[in-house]
Amino acid sequence: MAKQNNNYSFIDLIKYPIITDKSTRIISKNQYSFSVDPKMSKPQIKKAIEFLFEVKVKKINTCHLPVKTRRVGKYSGQKPHYKKAIIKLCEGYNINFFSENYK
């Protein structure tokens, strides 16, 4: 199956795709943004994306985003920390986030 050494599956390590204005613009350049587990390395991310979406990854850029503080009334806290990965795919491959068969 798709198990890592630390008993996590690939679907647990790739959290969700990031859909923002900037990320939808870079889809035309065949680049996709994902929120991933902060402890993942680039080779692990590449292996997970290729397994889950059946595509060929050309390049990966990652960044740790800063922790943001939130305030609700008199209580303040922090938003969860996450790592963003921008995946560039080889020519001829794409990931379809939006279903075309929507009824």
Task: Name the helix (H) or strand (E) containing 12.
Answer: helix 10-13
Domains in the chain, CATH or no CATH each:
10-89 (3.30.70.330)
Give the predicted TM-score (pTM) of the model: 0.79
DSSP helix/strand/coil, 80: coil
pLDDT in tens, 19-57: 999 999 999 999 999 999 999 999 999 999 999 999 999
Nearest-CA neighbor of 32 among 9, 52, 12? 52
Pairwise CA distance, residues 1 & 9, whole Å: 8
Which is higher by pLDDT, 28 or 103? 28
For the chain, the average pLDDT equals: 87
Are 86 and 31 within 8 A, CB to CB?
yes
Split at pLDDT 50, 70, 90, the class of 13 is confident
Give the pLDDT of residue 1: 43
Contacts of 33 (CB under 8 A, 6+ apart): 17, 18, 20, 23, 26, 84, 85, 86, 87
